[in-house]
Each structure stands twice: as C-alpha cells, then as structure tokens.
Amino acid sequence: MAFVDQMKAVGHAVESILIALNTAGLKIAARTLRAWCAPAGPANGPAARTISDALVEDTIRQLAFTTNAAGKRVLAPEGLYGRRKMLALIRRTHFPEAGFGAVDRAMRSLGLAGVVRGKDPERPSPTRPTRGRRTY
C-alpha cells in the first residue's frame, strides 16, 4: 500500500501502477485496492439486515428464556411459540417492522422450533390384515 501511495504522490495513475505490479507478479485488481484503501464508513460497516437480525435475536432470547432461582436459564412459555406466533408477539411488543425471515433465522440460531400439535400417527388396527401380505 505504501508503494502505491508513493507512486500516486508522484503523479502516476492507480491503474498504471497496478499494471506494473501485475507484470512483476503481484496480481491486484484496481477495485480490490480501492476497497482496501477505503475509509471505514457506512459502506464498510455491518449491513442493515445484520443489525436488525441481531436486535430480533436479542428480543427473542429475552422473551424465550428466563432465569430461575438457582440462576440457571430455562425456557419460558414463550419459548414454545412457533415462528408465526413469535413474529406476532415481537411485532406487538417490540418491533412492528420485524420480518418473518429475521424471526426465522433468529429462532433457528437459538435452537427454538415451537411445539408441534399435529395428529398422532395412524397405527394399524390389530384386527386389520397387514398391507404387506396382499395378493393382487
């Protein structure tokens, strides 16, 4: 970087400096060099989605877990919520602009899946013949 800065101070263009470096065996693209030299600012900071996902994940962690008398973190009743119910709770109490994808990613990273209340699996009746011994 110091070499490129010295050559720029003398008056050479960045592209011509990089062409000379490429012929010497150091392959660097002009775009890569500009990205390395760019000042730290909003363009190089964390993405908005990363920040909102972190806020949603912290909110879900606060809602889904509580600390008992022994100081151990245990699952709260809200920790049994599914994605749709958790999204409704977060939108109602904390972030009206929270999206389903952010809640989904946060619940997956926290290992929360919600309670499945489906039908019991159908078991064959002992009086019915099994399906494996049919003849057609």
Encode pLDDT of 27-81 as tens digits.
Answer: 888 888 877 777 665 666 788 899 999 999 999 999 999 999 999 999 999 999 9
Q: What are phi and psi of 74, to 5 degrees?
A: -125, 160
Average pLDDT over residues 120-130: 69
Q: What is residue 96's predicted lDDT score, i.e. its pLDDT?
A: 93
- Neighbouring C-beta atoms of residue 104, cutoff 10 Å: 14
Domain of 8 in residue numbering reads as 2-37
State whether 24 and 59 are in the same domain: no
- Could you tell me the pTM of the whole model? 0.58
CA atoms within 13 A on the CB side of 47: 3
State whether 31 and 72 are in the same domain: no
Residue 65 resides in a domain = yes
Q: Which of 87, 88, 80 is nearest to 111 (CA)?
A: 80
